[in-house]
Amino acid sequence: MKIIIIFISVLILSCDVDRQFEKNNFDTTNLNLTQQNHPYGYAKKECFYCHVRSNIHQQNTLGTDLLDAARGYTMIGDVTRCKDCHGDNGL
């Protein structure tokens, strides 16, 4: 019973939250961007032309402890730090 109540509250609480997080396609824990895994964004440096800040680094599908740092840089929009984890993106 308890679990059902919790479930329903979570459902209700979630209602007005717009969840459109980006999904990543990393098939390993290698976060390095290449021409293959980043065909549209490769060699482009203005990451936030295409990536919506509030939609990225939200879901920890890889189970890493890197997301706190990543969210910090994302929040302040510091694209000079993306390469710390994602490589130079061909730049």
> Do residues 45 and 79 touch, judged by C-beta distance below 8 A?
yes
Amino acid code (one letter) for 54? S
What number of chain residues touch ligand HEC (CB under 6 A)? Answer: 40
Among 7, 8, 22, 54, binds ligand HEC (CB under 6 A): 22
Give the C-alpha separation, 48 to 76, whole Å: 11
Task: By CB under 6 A, tell whether 86 contacts ligand HEC.
Answer: yes
Q: Which residue is nearest to ligand HEC (CB)?
A: 41
Does residue 85 bind ligand HEC (CB under 6 A)?
yes
Amino acid at site 84: D
By CB under 6 A, is residue 52 in contact with ligand HEC?
no
Q: State yes or no: residue 17 binds ligand HEC (CB under 6 A).
A: no
Reading phi first (left if > 0) and then psi (alpha if -120 to 50, else beta), residue 61 is in alpha
Nearer to ligand HEC, 9 or 22 (CB): 22
